[in-house]
Amino acid sequence: MKFPVYKDRDLVTAQFRLITEVLGISHLVAITGISSGADNSLQFAVSYPQLMDGILPVSGGALWGANGRLRGSLSLSTLDSCKGWDGGNYDENPKDCASNLLALWAQYFYTPAIHYAAREGHLDAVRLLLDAGADAEQNGYYDGSLVEMARDRGHLAIVSLLEEVRGRTGLIAPSDPRADHPIHLAAEAGDLKRVRALLDDDPTLVNRGDRTGGSPLHRAVLGRGDAESGKPA
């Protein structure tokens, strides 16, 4: 078979025809969805704004964050390197390809215990989990870091502990305020001359965190992945 190529706009067009032509519904109060469903709700607002009064996207947006873009590139490379995939031109279902892809995303959808401990303010549990090797940054499917979540809920002792562990392990903290520095934009665009000039002026920028905690090197890798997949950076 030839695996079909489709995008969010194609999905939304099919859903619009189902709603209006098959179900005979001419207007909706709202369209909502989680993750890719949130992306679709935004596309509905662009393509068919007359269909509904409003949208309620949850955990999704018009642009992917660094985590989603990195995992998207990893997903494509996982499929492309899988025996039997053959670019989607296969006669027999290459089952290992699906298993490999699910294994890649398992950690993303699995909510770690430290998330619940930090969310509910259980300092001793957070300390115990960190001592056992829990990631001070990994927050499962949820947007934002553990530090952000704990701060938003007023668990300042947990914030201090997580920041201490983050500093000790060399993890890069997100920028404050949450904005990209010119070096991140230059690195993602592959502008070596601009990156070199910025580092010559301030060598510490090599470890400057972007809005999600990614370094200029992370953004350069993401930019290369976008270029190879044909997506805009």
| Predicted local distance difference test score (pLDDT) of residue 121 | 93
Whether pLDDT at 230 is above 80: no
In this model, does residue 135 exceed pLDDT 70? yes
**What per-residue confidence (pLDDT) applies to 71?**
74
Confidence band, pLDDT 50/70/90 cuts, at residue 107: low
39 vs 42: CA distance, rounded Å: 5
pLDDT digits (tens, 9 = 90+) for 22-63: 999 999 999 999 888 999 999 999 999 999 999 999 877 777
Query: Which one of 70-84, 86-100, 196-210, 218-232 scores highest in mean pLDDT?
Result: 196-210
CA distance 173 to 202: 18
**DSSP code at position 168:** H
The CATH topology of domain 113-169 is 1.25.40
Nearest to 153 by CA among 174, 139, 166: 139
Q: Would you say how long the chain is, in residues?
A: 233
pLDDT in tens, 184-229: 999 999 999 999 999 999 998 888 888 767 789 888 887 764 444 4
Residue 143 pLDDT level (bands cut at 50, 70, 90) = low
pLDDT of residue 136: 84
Q: What is the pLDDT of residues 152-183, one digit of tens each?
A: 899 999 999 998 988 787 666 666 656 788 99
Amino acid 32: pLDDT: 93
Instruction: Average the pLDDT over 115-119 and give the result.
Output: 89
Q: Would you state the structure tokens that stand for residue 34, as one six-digit string?
A: 């989680």
Query: DSSP secondary structure string, 149-216?
Result: HHHHTT-HHHHHHHHHHHHHHTPPPPPSSS---HHHHHHHHT-HHHHHHHHHH-GGGGG---TTS--H
Number of neighbours of residue 209 by Cβ within 10 angstroms: 20
Alpha-carbon span 50 to 28, nearest angstrom: 9
- For the chain, the structural domain boundaries read 8-58, 66-109, 113-169, 182-229
Whether 223 contacts 233, CB under 8 Å: yes
Q: Per the structure block, which two tokens stand in for 116?
A: 């619940």
Q: What is the pLDDT of residue 123?
A: 95
pLDDT greater than 50 at residue 147? yes
In this prediction, residue 233 has a pLDDT band, given cuts at 50, 70 and 90, of: very low
Could you tell me the two tokens for 224? 């290369």
d(CA 107, CA 98): 15
For the chain, the farthest-separated pair of C-alpha atoms sits apart, in whole angstroms, at 63
